[in-house]
């Protein structure tokens, strides 16, 4: 199982930590968000070290579908209802700015960057598209509903957001990471008094940014209640037609689609990590029904952190922590969210105001409908008297027969059949005792 990006790109390699060192800013996590943050700090003249547990982009970033767009599904009507028009516009403007920042950076990088229109389609109701178009108009963006003849299934049209983009994320990272101060194979197990502790030494920093996909420091921020993780799946098809844009279902039930080279990338089959779902079987059925002449060249899976209100947590780790920052909860939209994170965190770390900071604050209200669902899932799996257990907070793990892994339905940690850690927030391998780690 390998993504099209991993198969076509050789990323630069970096040394490991040996002994003790110090820096102004330590960024923990070598995915796109961490690398962009380190890159922006470097060009701002800030001394920065990035520490990655494995190799850069070996986690979630290599398995993205790499859509660079401010159109995150039919989200803007919901944002207006939750936050009001002012903050909804902050979210829109932040992501539009992120798209333009990529456009500027990619001018001199060979990373298959393409201007591409983005579409939200509906198979249920045209009114849902009309309502979302009205929400965007209230926020100052005109968006038209088009007839979606390129989609192979019946639909009520699609809401178009023009001048978005798509690219190859690993080729992009390969270009911007070369001159950064990166330490690979440096697993940070805890942060204590602004000192990051790994098995190979320590890093003392004035400020620390946690960009580890799911934050691993449990005693601050309540991220174990504020987020859960979701698996989703991608198949890359040969001999499938071009669909002329990037498509996603407003109801989040149907497939997402985009082209790359001569391939059609079809995403879907998602489910909460540790639960059952359609997985690749759902994508196989879709492909056989609508693209019977196509054949699969690649397949891969990824994992996304879902927040209580579908807005990322970017900023101070918690209200009680000084000089500790976080970027997490990208809700399946990691490309623009990574860039927004880098812009906000860079400004916070150099003491500059950022116009988008407030809407992404990790200290905003937790009183959302998803909160009791997350708490219930945690309670049920904590009380389930089975082994093996997740070392993060002791939940019972579930066997994922599609990917042959042990998955945690509470917070999304994943382990190999032999118990080796695959995905965080756990910082250790699988146990049978459920003793929390950190």
Taking a C-beta distance cutoff of 8 angstroms, is the pair 79, 211 a contact? no
Q: What percent of the chain has pLDDT over 70?
A: 98
Please state whether beta strands 227-238 and 263-272 pair in parallel, antiparallel, or not at all (unpaired): antiparallel
Q: What is the pLDDT of residues 402-429, one digit of tens each?
A: 888 999 998 889 999 998 999 889 988 8
Q: What is the pLDDT of residues 251-301, one digit of tens each?
A: 989 999 999 999 999 999 999 998 888 889 999 999 999 999 999 999 999
Domain containing 411 equals 370-423
Residue 358 lies in a domain: no
The yes-or-no verdict on residue 435 having pLDDT over 80 is no
Question: What's the token pair of residue 135?
Answer: 């929400």
Residue 393 lies in a domain: yes
Taking a C-beta distance cutoff of 8 angstroms, is the pair 259, 265 a contact? yes
Taking a C-beta distance cutoff of 8 angstroms, is the pair 305, 229 a contact? yes
Comparing CA positions, the residue from 420, 427, 419 lying closest to residue 196 is 427
> In whole angstroms, what separates CA 424 from the centre of its chain?
13
Question: What's the token pair of residue 102?
Answer: 């990529």
Residue 183 lies in a domain: no
CA 69-30-248 angle, 5° bins: 25
pLDDT grade for 63, boundaries at 50, 70 and 90: very high
| Sign of the dihedral defined by the CA atoms of residues 31, 271, 430, 218, in that order | positive
Please give the tally of structural domains in the chain.
1
Quickly count: other Cβ atoms within 10 Å of residue 432's Cβ: 11
CATH of the domain at 381: 2.102.10.10
Instruction: Give mean pLDDT, residues 388-413.
Output: 89
Peptide bond into 388 cis (omega under 30): yes
Q: What is the pLDDT of residues 86-120, one digit of tens each?
A: 999 999 999 999 999 999 999 999 999 999 999 99
Residue 417 lies in a domain: yes
Rounded (10°) angle between helices 334-349 and 85-105: 100
pLDDT grade for 387, boundaries at 50, 70 and 90: confident
Q: What is the pLDDT of residues 8-54, one digit of tens each?
A: 888 999 999 999 999 999 999 999 999 999 999 999 999 999 999 99
Q: What is the pLDDT of residues 167-200, one digit of tens each?
A: 999 999 999 999 999 999 999 999 998 999 999 9
Supply the pTM of this predicted model.
Answer: 0.94
Backbone angles phi, psi at 232, to 5 degrees: -145, 165
Cα–Cα dist 379/377, whole Å: 6
Greater model confidence, 424 or 361: 361
Cα–Cα dist 313/168, whole Å: 25
Quickly count: other Cβ atoms within 10 Å of residue 435's Cβ: 11
């Amino acid at each position: 199982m390998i993504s099209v990006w991993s198969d076509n790109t050789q990323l630069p390699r970096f040394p490991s930590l040996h002994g003790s060192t110090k820096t102004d800013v330590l960024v923990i996590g070598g995915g796109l968000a961490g690398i962009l943050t380190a890159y922006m700090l470097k060009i701002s003249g800030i001394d920065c070290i990035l520490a990655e547990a494995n190799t850069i982009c070996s986690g979630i970033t290599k398995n993205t579908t790499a859509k660079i767009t401010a159109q995150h599904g039919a989200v803007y009507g919901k944002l207006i209802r939750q936050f009001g028009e002012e903050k909804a516009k902050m979210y829109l403007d932040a992501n539009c700015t992120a798209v333009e920042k990529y456009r500027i950076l990619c001018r001199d990088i060979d990373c298959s960057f393409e201007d591409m229109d983005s579409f939200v389609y509906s198979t249920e109701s045209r009114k849902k598209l009309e309502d979302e178009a009205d929400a965007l108009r209230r926020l100052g963006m005109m968006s038209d509903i088009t007839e979606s003849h390129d989609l192979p299934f019946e639909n009520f049209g699609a809401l178009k957001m023009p001048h978005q983009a798509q690219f190859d994320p690993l080729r992009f990272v390969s270009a911007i990471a070369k001159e950064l101060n990166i330490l690979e194979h440096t697993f940070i197990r805890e942060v204590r008094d602004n000192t990051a502790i790994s098995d190979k030494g320590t890093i003392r920093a004035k400020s620390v940014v946690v960009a580890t996909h799911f934050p691993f420091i449990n005693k601050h921020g309540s991220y174990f209640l504020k987020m859960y993780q979701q698996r989703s799946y991608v198949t890359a098809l040969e001999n499938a037609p071009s669909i002329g844009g990037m498509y996603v279902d407003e109801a989040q039930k149907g497939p997402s689609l985009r082209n790359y080279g001569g391939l059609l990338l079809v995403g879907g089959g998602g489910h909460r990590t540790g639960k059952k779902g359609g997985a690749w079987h759902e994508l196989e059925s879709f492909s056989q029904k609508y693209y019977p002449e196509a054949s699969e060249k690649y397949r891969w899976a990824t994992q996304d952190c879902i927040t209580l209100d579908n807005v990322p947590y970017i900023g101070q780790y918690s209200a009680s922590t000084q000089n500790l920052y976080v970027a997490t909860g990208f809700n399946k939209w990691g490309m623009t969210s990574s860039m927004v994170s880098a812009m906000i965190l860079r400004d916070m770390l150099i003491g500059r105001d950022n116009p988008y900071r407030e809407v992404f604050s990790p200290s905003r209200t937790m009183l959302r409908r998803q909160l009791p669902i997350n708490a219930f899932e945690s309670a049920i799996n904590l009380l389930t008297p089975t082994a093996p257990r997740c070392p993060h907070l002791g939940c019972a793990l579930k066997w994922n027969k599609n990917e042959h892994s042990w998955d945690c339905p509470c917070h999304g940690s994943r382990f190999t059949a032999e118990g080796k850690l695959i995905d965080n927030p756990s910082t250790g391998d699988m146990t049978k005792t459920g003793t929390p780690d950190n």
